[in-house]
Amino acid sequence: MEIRTTGYGHPDAVRLSAEVQQEYVRRYGDADVTVMHPDHFEPPAGIFVVGYLDGQPVACGGWRAKETDGAGVREGDAELKRMYVTPAARGRGLARAVLRHLERTAAEAGRTRVILESGTEQPEALALYASEGYEAITKFGVYKDHPQSVCMGKPLVPEAG
């Protein structure tokens, strides 16, 4: 898979983001209402990538810098958003590759921890994050009081040298 930094407003990113919203509708009954804007993913405050197989967009994800909010979000946090792999491309390690790419770029940008909000109806996502060292953190964001919300975080270790 080739991972390209596209930005959140790129047509492929927009299409994949619309697909992930439909996934949320299927699993939770509604789309994610978290405020998202292409500017949130412009370096150095963030990044959005699309993964391509044979020239076709099949995966996406991004991170955006977060400011301390007094409710679990800390200075230096990067929030993961819109991690997604198309159904036909699942089971090949693509989400893991995108996740590791995002973690690396967040660390390179000086972020010290990656945080995310997922949910109980996404067991495969929760398993992926747990297998990559993410642990439960204080809930944050629009869904912090929702019983299906699951928030996780992972400290980033800067690259040596």
86 with 19: CB under 8 angstroms? Answer: yes
User: Is position 136 within any domain?
Assistant: no
Residue 8 lies in a domain: yes
Q: What is the pLDDT of residues 4-61, one digit of tens each?
A: 999 999 999 999 999 999 999 999 999 999 999 999 999 999 999 999 999 999 999 9
Whole domain around residue 69: which residue ranges?
A: 2-114
Asked if the structure places residue 153 within a domain, the reply is no
Candidates 143, 139, 134; CA nearest to 151 is 139
pLDDT at 127 over 80: yes
Number of domains making up the chain: 1
The answer to whether position 122 is within a domain reads no
**What pTM, to 2 d.p., does this model score?**
0.95
Residue 125: inside a domain, yes or no? no
Return the beta strands (E) in 14-125 as ranges.
46-53, 56-65, 77-85, 113-119
CATH number where 76 lies: 3.40.630.30
Query: Is residue 156 one of the residues assigned to a domain?
Result: no
